[in-house]
Structure 1
Amino acid sequence: MTIEQIAIRLADYCRKEQFTQALEALYADNAVSIEPFEFPGFEKETKGLNAMLEKDKKFSALVESRHGTTVSEPLIAGNSFCFVLMMDMKMKGRNREKLTELCVYTVANEKIVSEQFFM
């Protein structure tokens, strides 16, 4: 798969809120995820696909309701791509909010090896 194909597939998974499926289909076993900051119950950096799947499960358990996700068209440069992701959601114990982040990915050997989020 080319980087363009990976970027398009990931954006499509995200638009459908199929985050677990995206991890399983597109990420390398040794992938790394870097958050903009550390928050309670979550590390700033998560290493390895299994740990990332666990983080996804923990995050999903905190979501009370989802009201839509939008994703910009991916921008590609070399072995990296990015897009803007906006999630309209209500987290347990919080008001409904729209979270917007820039998501940056690096690809090697036809798999995503790193993701980093900026808010």
Structure 2
Amino acid sequence: MNTQQVAERLAALCREGKYEQAQKELYADDAVSIEMNDMKSGALGNVSGLAAIREKGRTWKENIVAIHGGSVGDPIVAGDWFSLAMSIDATYKDMGRVDMQEICVYRVRDGKIVLEQFFYNT
């Protein structure tokens, strides 16, 4: 898949809430996930490797009490890079209800996502 195809597939899977399938299908084994500088380290912080990214996703999902809404924008592609605007309005066990908007930036190499980086207010 080229970058446009990866971007469109990721957006489609995220809109369906199929984050684990997206990681399994679209991410490279050596992918890196980067959060904002203010984000606490640990299970939801910066991680390297697909196994760590998948565990980060499971930890995030297990912390959710209820999802009240959310959206995934259309991808913007430039070369090996693409971005998506995403939002989620959710109640978390440890934070209560949070309405979050973020810009997610991805890099694609050989048809797989090798980097994801998230930009949001902390």
Q: Which category of TM-score, normalised to the shorter sequence, fits these structures?
A: over 0.9
CA-CA distance at 1:67 after TM superposition: 2.1
Q: What residue is the counterpart of 1:24 in the other structure?
A: 24
The one-letter amino acid of 2:5's match is Q
- 1:32–1:40: structure 2 CA closer, same or farther, 3 Å change rule? closer
Secondary structure (helix, strand or coil) at the match of 2:103 reads strand
Matches within 5 A, 1:27-66: 27-37=27-37, 38-39=39-40, 41-42=42-43, 44-66=45-67
State the Cα RMSD in Å.
Answer: 1.4
Q: What residue is the counterpart of 1:6 in the other structure?
A: 6
Q: What residue is the counterpart of 2:89 in the other structure?
A: 88
1:104 and 2:110 correspond:
no
- Runs of at least 4 residues off by over 6 Å: none
* TM-score of the aligned structures, taking structure 2 as reference length: 0.91
Percentage identity across paired residues of the two chains: 39
Question: 1:67-98 CA deviation, whole Å, 9 max, x = no partner?
Answer: 23201111000100001100111101443221
Runs (5+) with no aligned partner, structure 2: none
Question: 1:34-54 CA deviation, whole Å, 9 max, x = no partner?
Answer: 001332643532000001111
